[in-house]
Structure formats: structure tokens, C-alpha cells
Amino acid sequence: MKTLLILMAAGGVALAGASSPLYAACKASHRPGMNPATGGMPCAGNVCMAAPAPPATPAAAPVAHYGEIDTAALAAMVMAKTPMVILDARSGKYDDGRRLPGAKQLAPDATPAEVAKAIPAKDTLVVVYCSNLKCPASKHLAEQLLKLGHSNVLKYPQGIEEWVATGHPVENPK
């Protein structure tokens, strides 16, 4: 059994092997080098322009990523009253009740309804944090927000421990 290899080419189909039946049929259907089916467009080498290439596969959607923010930048944004939602990802025994100014608590396993209640719009600037660099909760919350379609998410990896250690104020809503 003979295998025919068909390769994609710009604007047509490459017919591998000048001895292939498809290539021979193409050549027989029009004058050598010309293709009447495409208004006289020439066939180039073994590429028949009468057999257009299938449409390109659409590129995969870009993968959303969250950014990171450091203590100085976050402090400047808080002092400037930059419109944003600050979310403390700590929950259960890890949540001591202290919060960055204006922060709300939202666990990484929050439901879509709880997320929607905490964040007014998908393009709202959101800063997530937890305890410190070792705490995974803010990473998990940031990833959850991205999965839910939020497009403007920053993670504050140093967390509340760094915030307090550098002398910034906290609130204690408990």
C-alpha cells in the first residue's frame, strides 16, 4: 500500500512526491505552472494552488497570570487611596484578624458567589496576600480569581508579617 504525504503550504497543499497520484492529477488538470481554478495563479513546485490549505488552527488563548507587588509599592497605593480591593487569603486558625487597611478576608476556596460579592467587577484591581513568603493561600486565591475571569490581580507575597515588620498600620476587625 502506498502512502501519500500531504503537507500544508502557504495558500495551497504540497503534494509530496512528483510521482504521487494527487500531484499527477493536479498537473493534468491545467497547463504546467498554471492553475485555472485560481484564476491562473501558478502552481509553485509541487504545491497546487487549486487545493487550498485548510484554515489555520486558532492560537490558544493567552494564559492569564497574576503580577506581584512589593511592600513599598503597596504602601504607596494604600496611602494614595488607589481604587482596589485588598483580600486577605488567610482563613481558619491562620487568620488572626489583623488586616491591611481596607482589606477583606476571602479564602482561596471561596465560591464564585462569595468572590463576586467581594469584588465589584472582573477588571477591578485586586491585591491578595496571606501571612508571609511561605504561605500558599494568596497564590491559590490569585489563581482562583484568574480562573473566574478576573484580569487585574496582584499578589503581595511578603504578606502581613512583612507589612507589620516595616511599620505599616493594620486594622483588626475582629
- Tens-place pLDDT, residues 17-73: 455 554 555 555 555 555 455 445 445 555 555 544 456 666 665 667 899 999 999
* Average predicted confidence (pLDDT) for the chain: 78
pLDDT at residue 172, as a whole number: 86
Q: Which has more pLDDT, 108 or 40?
A: 108
Q: Where in the chain is the domain with CATH 3.40.250.10?
A: 67-165
Sheet arrangement for strand 126-129: 67-68, 153-156, 126-129, 85-88, 104-105
| CATH number of the 67-165 domain | 3.40.250.10
Query: Taking 80 as the threshold, does the pLDDT of residue 100 lie above it?
Result: yes
Q: Say whether pTM exceeds 0.85.
A: no
pLDDT higher than 80, residue 155: yes
pLDDT of residue 7: 37
Sequential DSSP letters for 10-69: TTEEEESSTTSHHHHHHHHTSSTT-BGGGTSBPPBTTEETTSPPPPPPPPPPPPP--EE-
Question: 89 and 141 in contact (C-beta within 8 Å)?
Answer: yes
